[in-house]
Amino acid sequence: MDKNEIKEKLKSIISPYVPQKELLETITEETELMKDLKINSQHLVDIILDAEDVFDIEIDDDSAEKMLTVGAAIEIVEKLIHSK
Amino acid sequence: MNQRVVVTGIGVVSPNGVGVDSFTKGLKEGKSGIRFLKVLEELQFSCQIAGQPDLSELLISSYFNELELKSLQGSGLLYGAIAAKEAWSYAGLDKNIDTDWGSGCIFGSGHAAIDVIRDGIYKVDASQVKRIGSTLVQQTMESSISAFLAGYFGLGNRVSSNSSACSTGTESIILGAELIKSGQADRMLVGSCNSSGPYIWAGFDSMRVTTRKFNHDPEKGSRPLSASASGFVPGSGAAALVLESYKSARLRGAKILAEIKGFSINSGGQRNGGSMTAPNPLGIKRCIQNALQSAAIPSNHIDLISGHLTATMGDFGEVSAWGQALGLSKNQFPFIHSLKSMIGHCLAAAGSIESVAAIIQIQEQFIHPSVNCEDLDDRISDLIGKESIPQKSIDRELNCIAKASFGFGDVNSCIIFEKCKE
């Protein structure tokens, strides 16, 4: 799975938790999940669980805490997929 | 000074009709919402029929978006949220942008999300605590439904969930009405909800208080007041009301659907024949009399009684308690009926669904039938005339309805609804 594919999949994982859908249109790797996409902090947990299901990986607590931007999320998922 | 309390909005998710229009039609037609449920047969329930609201995916998605639905996985929560949204909009109100300090919410439940609890427990037992996700707590805390609604609408007055078994719905309305009457709130979103499904109904099945004789004829199964009543049919659903001070309703030009003239909540203390599961007849009698007293009306003022009447052994005791409380002879007795004959016993949701039915009947001036009691219990027909129990819908001038609910724990509640006069 290449980076772009991961990015697209992550986007669809994140999408339900984004209250204003138009914010999804301008996503870059620097986009912050809470600040820019207005995702409620409570739902970061759910995004991590959904990502575990979709990519069939296990995200440990330390990695989970770092998943605050789209770029960080891609990087963590990519690493975990390749270390499988 | 006491404020007058009026109803300006209603919403309902009932086994025989979702939404006020469809429910009203169901009431007039005496439509049954009781169905045979395959899952109950497979699980070897004695009673394999139940009342469960019919919600399509399309209807659900017209009320809430994908994200909101993630927090409404319990069927009771979903029923409650849909009913509340209908009531709020029926009252001509929108979601508040800023917190509305004058509006609050008392919304009760028995179990609003029992399936969510089950999923959580399964994950814990499988050492998958991490996999539980963020919405278990908010959906399974006892205040799940009021917490959701307050956040959804932006309510800043008192926000809480009450729970008092099958008295919950009627009680929630009274708790909200008290706050308005005393001037502590201008507007209260009240009501109650109960989840569907085997985990809710199993305990009653095991107690043998549900009927096992109508699995092949579900619509005939719920038989309050009947000689062939053989236990209640379990139900589920929700209803919501927007209560408001008369002043507040007038100020914003809201349509007033009915007035809450009086109410009472008490307990029989599980004495004098009362127990965890049966009411102390004196408790019921006092509750009804206190409600009349708080409404400051004589008993012959009541046109219709919306009974608790579940189709168990309790029906006769209830009818005789009404007779004693009202002190009216057989030929003076008002109309009496049971909505449970059409939708079963919706448990914590029963009182609010039945109250919404009462308000609709005051609005539209009719009395819905009490179906399945063509063979009246002789002891009951000795106390009240056959003509007091409508077998078909009756168009009639209707000014005043007494609604009562009784619950496990020997708790009682009674409301007097009236057509609103200037």
Region for residue B30 given its phi and psi (left: phi exceeds 0; alpha: psi -120 to 50; beta: otherwise): left
Q: Do B67 and A19 touch (CB under 8 A)?
A: yes
Q: What would the 3-class secondary structure string for chain A be?
A: CCHHHHHHHHHHHHHHHCCCHHHHHHCCCCCECCCCCCCCCHHHHHHHHHHHHHHCCCCCHHHHHHCCEHHHHHHHHHHHHHCC
Q: Do A49 and B70 touch (CB under 8 A)?
A: no
Range of the domain at B360: 262-418
Task: Please tell me the total count of domains within chain A.
Answer: 1
Q: Do A49 and B66 touch (CB under 8 A)?
A: no
Contact B29, B393 (CB under 8 A): yes
Instruction: List residues of A whose CB lies inside 8 A of any B CB.
Output: 16-17, 19, 42-43, 45-46, 49
Same domain, B171 and B270: no
> Residue B251's CB: how many other CB atoms inside 10 A?
11
The structure tokens 């005939």 sit at B220
Supply the CATH number for residue B151's domain: 3.40.47.10
**HSE on the CB side for B273, CA within 13 Å?**
8
Range of the domain at A39: 3-82
Region for residue B231 given its phi and psi (left: phi exceeds 0; alpha: psi -120 to 50; beta: otherwise): left
Give the whole-angstrom CA distance, residue B17 versus residue B52: 10
Mind listing the pLDDT tens digit of every residue in chain B (422 residues)? 799 999 999 999 999 999 999 999 999 999 999 999 999 999 999 999 999 999 999 999 999 999 999 999 999 999 999 999 999 999 999 999 999 999 999 999 999 999 999 999 999 999 999 999 999 999 999 999 999 999 999 999 999 999 999 999 999 999 999 999 999 999 999 999 999 999 999 999 999 999 999 999 999 999 999 999 999 999 999 999 999 999 999 999 999 999 999 999 999 999 999 999 999 999 999 999 999 999 999 999 999 999 999 999 999 999 999 999 999 989 999 999 999 999 999 999 999 999 999 999 999 999 999 999 999 999 999 999 999 999 999 999 999 999 999 999 999 999 999 999 97
- CA–CA min distance B171, chain A (Å): 33
Q: Among residues B220, B242, B258, which one ends one of the domains?
A: B258
Burial B189-209 (b: 16+ CB within 10 A, else e): bbbbbbbbbbebbeebbeeeb
- CA–CA min distance A73, chain B (Å): 18
Interface pTM, i.e. ipTM: 0.86
Same domain, B402 and B321: yes
Chain A positions touching B130 (Cβ under 8 A) are 49
Q: Could you tell me the pTM of the whole model?
A: 0.96
Same domain, B305 and B396: yes
Please name the residue of chain B whose CA is at the shortest distance from the CA of residue A64: B130
Please name the residue of chain A whose CA is at the shortest distance from the CA of residue B137: A42
Same domain, B246 and B269: no
> Which of A16, A19, A46 is closest, CB to CB, to B133?
A46
Q: Among residues B243, B258, B273, which one ends one of the domains?
A: B258
Going by C-alpha positions, the residue among B411, B344, B31 that lies closest to residue B194 is B344
Going by C-alpha positions, the residue among B154, B156, B158 that lies closest to residue B96 is B154
